[in-house]
Amino acid sequence: MAGAEMIDNVVHAAIVMTTPVLLAAIGGLVNRVGGIVNIGLDSMMLAGALLGLIIASSTGSWGAALVMAALAGGVLGLLMSLAITRLDANEIIVGLGFNIAVAGLVRFFLKSAYGSSGTLNLPDVARLPRIDIPVLADIPILGAVLSGHDPVTWAAWLMVPLTAWFLARTRAGLRLRAAGAAPQAVRALGLSPLAIRDASTVFAGLMAGLAGVYLSIGVVGIFNEGITAGRGFIALAAFYFGRNRPWQTALGALLFGFFDAFQIRLQGRGVPAELVQILPYAMVIVVLTLMALAMRRARARRA
């Protein structure tokens, strides 16, 4: 039936579109729990996408590409974090600065090394394998959800309960929460809140780097300077929406994933592409407003 197939396609596409946002959002969430709002996720995604593609093409191994992309993101994360924690720089400005500088560096690099202005199309790019689960694949909808996805998507969704457990139950998670909420208290106890924050930013960078390489070798197979399409900011929206809770953040990422998937389909039906593109960003504003209203109502309601 064409209808069911279409639904399956949309579901599948939604999950595909969710993965990069989810990865970056989980990273951003951990970062924020540790006390830093990471506006520069886009830059780490971009770097991961580029490096991942290059590695995938030159080594033929998608595993190596994942590792190197994550590392690239992690290194950028570390640099950004050091500027914030050791040089006491404002995290918003540093994030924006990183986005601008890294975007420039990427284009500079493409021009200098490949003579290309914006797009990089390499031969023999190792793509992510597709995991089809035999019996499940035939179930409508559920099959689209569980089957036919790649390892990175599975890893992304596994990160959600893992992060929740980490924050609530482990020693490192407790120290992270403390470092974000009261760094002076943490320092008085003999720990280093700055080092803890740096670690959380590196983690965010790793995740964003993975998100980036997923886009370049998982989704499209080439690199384009616009490949992130502002998804670093959508991830920001997702973890704001999720209020530092992993499952809620995942829900937000999923919502945006559905939007993304629908948007492509709506484009062909006379709804102007540009207007549809507005939806995720508008939704962020709406969500933030609703959250603020709810908080205000809750405060007033307390008897």
| Binding-site ranges for another protein (CB under 8 A) | 39, 83, 86-90, 92-94, 96-105, 107-108, 111-112, 169-172, 174-175, 177-178, 181-182, 184-192, 194, 230, 233, 236-237, 240, 272, 274-275, 277-278, 281-282, 284-285, 288-289, 292-293, 296, 299-303
Q: Structure tokens of 218?
A: 């998982």
Q: Nearest-CA neighbor of 73 among 235, 193, 181, 183?
A: 235
Q: Structure tokens of 126?
A: 């190792």
Helices 2-33 + 151-169 axis angle, to 10: 40
Strands 223-224 and 119-120: antiparallel
Q: Are 69 and 44 in contact (CB under 8 A)?
A: no
**Shortest Å, Cβ 2 to another protein:** 30
Give the dihedral of Cα atoms 104, 105, 111, 112; nearest 10 deg: 150
Residue 33 or 215 with smaller CB distance to another protein: 33
Q: Which residues contact 227 (CB under 8 A, 6 or more apart)?
A: 46, 49, 212, 215, 216, 220
Rounded CA separation 229/193 (Å): 33
Q: Read off the DSSP letter of residue 131.
A: B
Residue 171 or 269 with smaller CB distance to another protein: 171
Q: Are 212 and 73 in contact (CB under 8 A)?
A: yes
Q: Structure tokens of 186?
A: 């943490």
**Shortest Å, Cβ 174 to another protein:** 6
Report the residue count for the chain. Answer: 303
Residue 142 or 189 with smaller CB distance to another protein: 189
**Shortest Å, Cβ 62 to another protein:** 28
H/E element, 244:
none
Residue 269 or 299 with smaller CB distance to another protein: 299
Residue 6 or 168 with smaller CB distance to another protein: 168
Residue 124 or 274 with smaller CB distance to another protein: 274
**Shortest Å, Cβ 194 to another protein:** 7
**Shortest Å, Cβ 212 to another protein:** 18
Residue 3 or 117 with smaller CB distance to another protein: 117
H/E element, 219:
none
**Shortest Å, Cβ 165 to another protein:** 9
**Shortest Å, Cβ 5 to another protein:** 31
